[in-house]
Structure 1
Amino acid sequence: MKYIALFRGINVGGNRKVDMKQLRTLFESLGFSQVSTYINSGNILFESELDTKSVLMKIQNCFHNTFDFEIPTIVKTENEMKKIAKSIPEEWQNDPTQRTDVAYLFPEADSKKIIEELPLKIEFLEIRYIKGAIFWNIKRENVNKSQLAKLISHKLYKSMTIRNVNTARFLAGEKE
């Protein structure tokens, strides 16, 4: 089965550095195949015969023994990633006029109610939930009005890992 692992908070601002080549080698040593990384922010694509729960446990155990910091990880199947990406309206893009992001949710936050709990002014953005993620689109002129920046200091921020729409679509195989 094809999987995508999403790592939260690595290689951001020079902190919690993880070399992508080292990560690929580590995944190969765990018996995963067809291992590749996408950009330096913690996205790895691979294949395994194991189920999702077993894959995640294997990764977490290995990380615990390899790194001196925690690396929160979400593992999704290729089909789950495709379902999320396909639910994003095609016209939602990242361009000079608009911004679209996907927040992949850790299990403890995976609920439609998360939208109500976030410190956002939703009249300035469109936000939607699908199992496993929330995603939003905002006119760039409204980014500050939406209070999107307050998300970083909210308690639920640690229960998600955010990717821009281009990355989300690439990881789902929607863009090559």
Structure 2
Amino acid sequence: MKYIALFRGINVGGNRKVEMKKLKILFESLGFTEVFTYINSGNIIFESEFDTKKVFSKIQTCLEKNFDFEIPTLLKTEKEMKKIAAMIPEEWQNDDNQKTDVAYLFAEADSKKIIEDLPLKKEFLEILYCKGALIWNIKRENVNKSQLAKLISHKLYQSMTIRNVNTARFLAGEKK
């Protein structure tokens, strides 16, 4: 089965550095195959014959042994990633006029109710919930008005890991 591991909060602002080459080697040492990393923010695509629970356990144990800080990890199957990517309207892009992001949700935040709990001015953005993720699109001219920047200081921010729409589509196998 093909899996995608999403790591939260690594290699941001020079902190919590994790070398992607090392991570790839660690994943291969766990018996995972077809391992490759995608951009430095912590995305690994790989295959394993093990079920999701076993794969996640192996990853957590490995990370705890090899790094002196916690690395929150979301593990998604290729099918889950494709389902999330399919929810993104095709016209939602990242370009000079608009910005689209996917916030992959950890279990404790995975509810449609999360939209109500976020400190966003929803009249300035479009936001969708699907199991496992929030997807939003905003005109670049409205980014500050939407208070999207306040998300970083909100308690729920710790329960998500955000990727831009291009990365989300790539990880789902839509763009190579």
TM range (shorter): over 0.9
What secondary structure does 1:120 align onto? coil
Please state how far the C-alpha of 1:153 moved relative to its aligned partner: 0.2
Matched residue count = 176
Structure 2 residue aligned with 1:3: 3
Q: Match for 2:12: what amino acid?
A: V
Structure 2 residue aligned with 1:139: 139
Q: Are 1:111 and 2:111 counterparts? A: yes
What secondary structure does 2:10 align onto? coil
Q: Distance in 1 between matches of 2:51 and 2:158?
A: 25
Q: Match for 1:115: what amino acid?
A: I
Unaligned runs of 5+ in 2: none
Q: Distance in 2 between matches of 1:132 and 1:47?
A: 20
Aligned-CA RMSD value: 0.4
Q: Distance in 2 between matches of 1:83 and 1:162?
A: 17
Q: Are 1:173 and 2:173 counterparts? A: yes
Superposition map of 1:68-147 within 5 A: 68-147=68-147
What TM-score results when the alignment is normalised by the length of structure 2?
0.99
Q: Match for 1:73: what amino acid?
A: T
Please state how far the C-alpha of 1:52 moved relative to its aligned partner: 1.0
Structure 2 residue aligned with 1:156: 156
What secondary structure does 2:58 align onto? helix
Q: Distance in 2 between matches of 1:57 and 1:160?
A: 19
Q: Distance in 2 between matches of 1:156 and 1:122?
A: 16
Superposition map of 1:49-64 within 5 A: 49-64=49-64
Q: Distance in 2 between matches of 1:55 and 1:151?
A: 31
Q: Match for 2:172: what amino acid?
A: A
Structure 2 residue aligned with 1:42: 42
The sequence identity of aligned pairs, in percent, is 81
Please state how far the C-alpha of 1:66 moved relative to its aligned partner: 0.6
Q: Match for 1:138: what amino acid?
A: I
Q: Distance in 2 between matches of 1:122 and 1:54?
A: 39
